[in-house]
Chains A and B, each alone.
Chain A
Amino acid sequence: MSFVPPSKIDMIKGFLYAKGLRFIKLNPNSRAVAATIGKPDYVPVIGAQIHEHALTVAKADPERFFYKDGKYCVAVQLYVSKWYGFEQPMGMAPEAYNYEVEALGGKLLKTKKHMPSIDQSDPLIKNPEDIDKVKTPIKIDQGRIRFVIDSINAYKELTGNPPSAFFCAPFSFICGIHSYVRVIRNIRKNPEFIHKLLTWSIDEVLVPYLQLLKKETGANYAVGADAWAAIPNVNKEILEKFVFPYNEKLKIEAKKKGITAVVAGTADYCIEDPKNFDPELMKWCWYHEGKALFGRPGIFMGMGKTELWPIDVIKEFIKENTSMFWKPPVIASCSASFIRDSSPYEITNYVKRIIDNLGRDGHLSFFLAQIPADAPPINVHSFVNASKIYGKYPIIENLDEIEFKLPEFKSYEEWYREEASKGRAIEYE
């Protein structure tokens, strides 16, 4: 799985390297492939969800970043990601839950300095009859769709990677257009309407929207965000009846239009208190979230307190789902509060522990699912640094033999000036 659609050549290179052909030179995309199916050269930190943090580090203009300039928004994220050394810098229009609803006329609560949110108290579809009043499909001049298109094109231009679209997954979309509380209420009181709303969202809104993005950017790969469908926002029953079938329908309908759609965040296990961790439910979530991302069981550590997840349960899951042809990969992460509030030493030790326990045979990469605005940059650098030092294959027997050192790095401002002077960054001001 990757947030960048791997080219066929990267797929082949990554596959062959993982199968033992070590003379092949990996690039970030083929390394991500190799890390999914076996051993790359080192455990990569693929990327991070970084928009709020990037905004702060780069001292960017929030209004321009969120509302006005899609290219600027992407560039800021890409440069901060490159400064940290992420393999596949993520640069996307950050409001995965807002754009479609806003374009259809939904009300957003906006502030100049912060990311806007959908007004959950005043949704566009309040009652079942409102669905007929919403004009579909989404058009290019509605809401901030041009901003989204500019951001996808900018990503393509600035990275040279194939374009990748982002969208709101069906369940999360209806939580925006009908409000989460109303969705939950109607799941009990009027489930037929929720089924109708989900079907409508796929057929009338999301698939045509993906077609529009494909037409304007060439993106035939799209990643859907589905945080509303995380545990405990929903339970197993809701996932089985109202989420999984519709993600599957979306994938099928998108495929018919030549678009590969994957969904991230569905069934993400976000119970926070370790005393409430339920190993069986965790495994069930990993199975389903992995299937959505990889097509087979795998562990994607999303937005939960993943640094507290029991390693033994993860190992059990991997063992139970390993076959002759597949070993569940792990995309490991840590929570926003951990990366913000821990010391570089604690962060390094966490990365070391994950590599020691889960990375010796490959099938491991990292993706920082959330870096908050005020996370100290030294913490993020420590994370990336630790992954490269402790995760170099073959991994040594006793990782404690490697002495802990604080990472050395230039300030962002200095780094950016140098990049710009070499023509590797756009100067905006």
Chain B
Amino acid sequence: MSSLENDLEQLKKAIVEGDPDLAEQLAKKILESKMDPLKAIYESVVPGILKAGELWEQNIYFIPDVIMSAEAFKSAMSILEKSIPISTIENKSIGKYLICTVEGDIHDLGKSIVVTMLKAAGFIVYDLGVDVPIKKFIEKVKEIKPDIVGLGAYMSTTAVTLKDYIQALKNEGLRDKVKVMIGGVRTSQEYANNIGADAWGKDGVDTIKKAKKLMGVEK
């Protein structure tokens, strides 16, 4: 194994094991070696975070492990992404995903893990943040024209407003142009069905599986 191959392997390991400092150092080293940053992203960074997701799914990793892997992922990406032209990222993406939590809901933790996983899966993610009113949401849907919107609600008093966002998309003639996913601790597949969403994302891993399915890139 060459030194560079070893660095790529170590970078993947740093992400799986959740070591943000080491991931940053290795990402810098890889850039200094003039390696194509896309190679590092696709061979180390993305497989690293997806492996952490697999371990979560297998019940081997708990949330703290996933968070640390996500931190390591972000550390490496923040270094590597700077060297990639935006057009390259757009060409390689599988779709545009707009995400936010609904008005009155200021919970960010679950959404930030979902955002990390979506980026790793190849989506261009537009994160509107938390506590986003319907008006702003609709404006951004019109402006960005996402393939999928993801709406998060983490309290039962805010989950009841998810249907209003879907209704607003209908009122604006946008519902047929965009897929809608919902997520958050107070939601479920049944709830998604009841309010007319296209899919429910149970967690980060489940969200990317279903988002890819909605995009037709995974069965």
Contact = CB atoms under 8 A, between A and B. Distances in A.
A185 to B, nearest CB: 7
A425 interface: no
Contacts of A114: 104-105, 155, 157-158
A115 B194 CA distance: 25
B106 A336 contact: no
A272 interface: yes
Nearest to A372: B156
B159 to A, nearest CB: 7
Contacts of B202: 272-273
Contact of B63 (A233, A336, A373): A233
Interface residues on A, range: 35 or more
A374 B194 CA distance: 13
Interface string B106-134: 11110000000000000000000011000
A341 B191 contact: yes
Given A109-B106, A187-B64, A233-B63, A55 B157 contact: yes
Closest 4 CB pairs between A and B? A372-B156, A109-B106, A373-B156, A114-B104
A64 B165 CA distance: 27
Interface residues on B, range: 20 to 34
A185 B190 contact: no
A52 B160 CA distance: 12
A414 B6 CA distance: 73
15 contacts: A52-B156, A52-B157, A62-B157, A111-B103, A185-B71, A232-B63, A235-B64, A271-B59, A272-B202, A276-B59, A337-B188, A337-B191, A340-B156, A341-B190, A374-B159
Contacts of A24: none
B64 A234 contact: yes
B156 to A, nearest CB: 3
B106 A111 contact: yes
Contact of B157 (A56, A181, A184, A272): A56
Contacts of B103: 111
A370 B156 CA distance: 10
A117 B111 CA distance: 15
A372 B131 CA distance: 19
Given A55-B157, A232-B63, A235-B65, 20 more contacts: A53-B156, A109-B130, A111-B106, A114-B104, A116-B106, A120-B108, A181-B109, A184-B64, A185-B20, A231-B62, A232-B62, A233-B63, A271-B59, A276-B58, A337-B187, A337-B190, A337-B191, A341-B191, A372-B186, A374-B156
